[in-house]
Amino acid sequence: MIAAVEAGNLTIVNILLKANPLCANVTAEGVTPLWMASQQGHTKIAKLLIEDCKADVNTKVPDSHRTPLHQAAQGGRTEIVKLLLANGADPDARDSSGVSPLWTAAQKGSAEIVKLLLNLNDAEPLPRPDGATPKVDPNVVTSDGKRTPLHQAAQNGCVDVVRILLERGADPDPRDQHGISPLWSAAQGGFEEIVKMLLATKGADAEVISTSGSNRRPLHQAAQNGHTGVCKLLLAHGVQHEPLDNTNCSPLFFAAQGGHAEIVEILLSKGSSPENAWEKGNKGGRRYCLHQAAQNGHAKVASLLLGAGANVEPDEYIPDEGLLPSSSSDSSDTAEEGPRKVSGYKSRRKYERFLEKKGRTNQQSAPSSPNSNSKRKKRAKSKKRSDRSQYVSVSPLGLAIVAGHIEVVRLLIENGANTNSINNKSQLSPLHLANVAGSEGREDIITLLIENGARVDAKEKDGWTPMMLAAQNGNCNIVDMLIKNGASVDAQGTDGETALWIASQQGHTAIVEKLLQADARSIPTTGSGRYPIHQAAQNGHFEVLKRLVENDPDCVDLSDFNGSTAIAHAAGGKEAIRFHMVEYLISKGAKFISNPGE
């Protein structure tokens, strides 16, 4: 029977009822035929069940306690709602969450059903079997989130439903468990007509503050989501233009982050400070509006902020875990969103992974010396190098560079950003940071930096130059560009590594070729005494090894601090390529025994 009703097959339903009239009240997991017909919108079947079979119009399913009227209201089944009400359905029945048919209809935007239900309050109510004469409560709240029909209609942009509810006496300013009002939800959703209606209604607070922990107001939400019209309505109503949330952020901060230039312009004209900064409590983190605009590539917004006096180089330290303000902890489905992920996020993670790789690379090349203390020190140092928090850029310029936003980079430089500013944690210069963007083909940013005075041989905390990072990352074009602009091919890191050493280890043949053409010298590291040829041999980079030997045939017998030569390093694996490497080295006169007497 339930299957036939669900499918809307009136013929089969009639056959079953004639065979056994009791089928009208059969249940499947608590669901009756009338309940199913109401949900599916099968009016003729519902009418047959009610009028001919006297089906119970107020039956509730066991778990949710929802009645046929709940289901009809939720589905916008106006004719079935009328049929059920005319036959004694409780218009204010509550399900297990305290939800009434009115609440459900308001959420779905079914204005006709909302009006139909509320109009019952004007008529003489029909008594229920228990003697009660129920009224439809326009302010019914859910038992969990304390949300009213007006909350749901405002959140979902149901203009007609909001109008009906307000006309029929709904409270214009109820608060849910997070302190959120219908106006707050409408502002977040950008529903201008609803915001206008609520602002015109006595009692709706335009400065309502979320109690979830974020302390955000309607203007925060409208600005964050780019709802210019709502922002104008709120400001015209007289709300504060610069309220601060629990992290000290103003609406301007969120508008700048989202790239909403018109809202930024409006808020600046109202007097909002371009120097507003997000703060991460006792962590000491701080991030300004310009940081957000720069990292997200919002050149127009950055220009507006700079024009309003924003500092082009705020130097506050930004901890790694504070690169973005934390998301809201609100659990309701209408809670405000946390600050959005920035477009440079993937680039930043790519950069962090690159630096982790750099740390692992240095660890792999730790000396094979028998001195265990030296090994431990080296590993500790490598671990420190891969600590992401040591490599976080603090300037808007650095963030724009890493994210690859050249227009913002150009704008910041034109406004006085220092192309040689140093991150006080890792001592990374803008040109170091540009290698991340450069790994994605952004040589234009590096060119722009060099043209504006960036030092090509700047060193970060471990002595690595931009060329060394480019060699690590496999950026041959950037290596070539740096060489042509006077960068040293023999600059050494704190462990003695050079660009040639790094490129040999990574197997970047084209870069090795480019460096050798620029007369790069084969220099060993200070910790292990390994030369570039050792790194190529150990890592199975045959083409690099051949190019190194062609450049300097005598390098085949260079030994590291353990006395191991290239042939010893090449023989240390099972890959087929190693057989060819050993064979090649022997053909070039490499000695078979690197440590005579052993």
Write the secondary structure of 259-305 as one string of H (helix), E (strand) and C (coil): CCHHHHHHHHHCCCCCCCEEEEHHHCEEEEHHHHHHHCCCHHHHHHH
Q: How confident is the model at residue 423 (pLDDT cuts 50, 70, 90)?
A: confident
pLDDT for the residue numbered 337: 38
pLDDT for the residue numbered 525: 94
pLDDT for the residue numbered 98: 96
- Least confident interval from 309-323, 376-390, 534-548, 554-568: 376-390
Task: Work out the mean pLDDT of the chain and round it to a whole number.
Answer: 86
Name, in order, each residue with C-beta under 8 angstroms of 42's C-beta and a sequence gap of 6 or more: 5, 8, 10
Residues 152-165, mean pLDDT to the nearest whole number: 98
SS3 content of the chain, % helix, strand, coil (to 5): 50, 0, 45
Name, in order, each residue with C-beta under 8 angstroms of 342's C-beta and a sequence gap of 6 or more: 257, 292, 295, 296, 324, 403
Q: How confident is the model at residue 567 (pLDDT cuts 50, 70, 90)?
A: very high
- Beta strands per DSSP E along 384-438: none
CA distance 598 to 587: 24
Residues 178-199, mean pLDDT to the nearest whole number: 98
Q: Tell me the residue type at 395.
A: S
pLDDT for the residue numbered 25: 80
pLDDT for the residue numbered 438: 60
Residues 87-107, mean pLDDT to the nearest whole number: 96
Chain segment 496-551, per-residue pLDDT in tens: 999 999 999 999 999 999 999 999 999 999 889 999 999 999 999 999 999 999 99
- Which one is predicted more confidently, 377 or 444? 444
pLDDT for the residue numbered 334: 40
Asked if residues 69 and 39 have their Cβ atoms less than 8 Å apart, the reply is no
pLDDT for the residue numbered 125: 60
Q: How confident is the model at residue 587 (pLDDT cuts 50, 70, 90)?
A: very high
CA distance 431 to 412: 15
The percentage of the chain sitting over the pLDDT mark of 70, rounded to a whole number, equals 82
> Which span out of 52-56, 367-371, 530-534 was modeled with the highest average pLDDT?
530-534
The yes-or-no verdict on residue 379 having pLDDT over 90 is no
Task: Select 1-137's CATH number: 1.25.40.10, 1.25.40.20, 3.90.1640.10, 3.40.225.10.
Answer: 1.25.40.20
CA distance 536 to 508: 10
Report DSSP state, residue 460: -
Torsion angle defined by CA atoms of residues 586, 590, 596 and 598, in that order, rounded to the nearest 10 degrees: -50
The yes-or-no verdict on residue 362 having pLDDT over 90 is no
> What are the C-alpha distances in Å from 79 to residues 44, 73, 134, 283?
10, 10, 21, 60
Torsion angle defined by CA atoms of residues 140, 146, 152 and 153, in that order, rounded to the nearest 10 degrees: 50
Q: Which long-range contacts (CB under 8 A, 24 or more apart) does 164-170 make?
A: 164/111, 164/114, 164/115, 164/118, 165/106, 165/114, 165/118, 165/138, 166/197, 166/198, 166/201, 168/118, 168/121, 168/138, 169/138, 170/138, 170/139
- Least confident interval from 158-162, 278-282, 328-332, 467-471: 328-332
Q: How confident is the model at residue 355 (pLDDT cuts 50, 70, 90)?
A: low
Report DSSP state, residue 196: H
Q: How confident is the model at residue 332 (pLDDT cuts 50, 70, 90)?
A: very low
CA distance 220 to 210: 11
Residues 397-416, mean pLDDT to the nearest whole number: 95
H helix runs in 270-391, sequence order: 289-295, 299-307, 345-364, 372-385
Q: How confident is the model at residue 76 (pLDDT cuts 50, 70, 90)?
A: very high
pLDDT for the residue numbered 281: 57
- Which one is predicted more confidently, 127 or 334? 127
Residues 477-496, mean pLDDT to the nearest whole number: 97
Using alpha carbons only, give the angle 180, 183, 184 rounded to the nearest 5 degrees: 45
Q: How confident is the model at residue 57 (pLDDT cuts 50, 70, 90)?
A: very high
Using DSSP's 3-state secondary structure scheme, residue 572 falls into coil
Query: Tokens representing 17?
Result: 């009822």
Residues 78-98, mean pLDDT to the nearest whole number: 96
Q: Please report where in the chains the tokens 């692992």 appear, as a residue.
A: 360
pLDDT for the residue numbered 316: 57
Asked if residues 569 and 544 have their Cβ atoms less than 8 Å apart, the reply is no
pLDDT for the residue numbered 24: 82
Residues 213-231, mean pLDDT to the nearest whole number: 97
pLDDT for the residue numbered 132: 59
Q: How confident is the model at residue 386 (pLDDT cuts 50, 70, 90)?
A: very low
Helix (H) or strand (E) holding 333: none
The yes-or-no verdict on residue 37 having pLDDT over 90 is yes
Q: How confident is the model at residue 374 (pLDDT cuts 50, 70, 90)?
A: very low
The percentage of the chain sitting over the pLDDT mark of 90, rounded to a whole number, equals 72
pLDDT for the residue numbered 244: 96
Number of C-beta neighbours around residue 496 at 10 A: 16
- How does DSSP assign 485-543, residue by residue? TT--TT---TTS--HHHHHHHHT-HHHHHHHHHTT------TTT---HHHHHHHTT-HH
Q: Name beta bridge partners: 28.
A: 31
CA distance 335 to 350: 31
pLDDT for the residue numbered 383: 35
Residues 404-411, mean pLDDT to the nearest whole number: 97
Asked if residues 297 and 344 have their Cβ atoms less than 8 Å apart, the reply is yes
Q: How confident is the model at residue 270 (pLDDT cuts 50, 70, 90)?
A: very high
pLDDT for the residue numbered 196: 98
CA distance 576 to 194: 72
CA distance 567 to 590: 7
Residues 301-322, mean pLDDT to the nearest whole number: 80
pLDDT for the residue numbered 572: 83
Report DSSP state, residue 83: H
Residues 294-314, mean pLDDT to the nearest whole number: 97
pLDDT for the residue numbered 321: 43
Residues 107-119, mean pLDDT to the nearest whole number: 97
Number of C-beta neighbours around residue 367 at 10 A: 19
Number of C-beta neighbours around residue 238 at 10 A: 10
Q: Is 340 left (phi over 0), alpha (psi -120 to 50) or beta?
A: beta
pLDDT for the residue numbered 569: 94
pLDDT for the residue numbered 340: 40
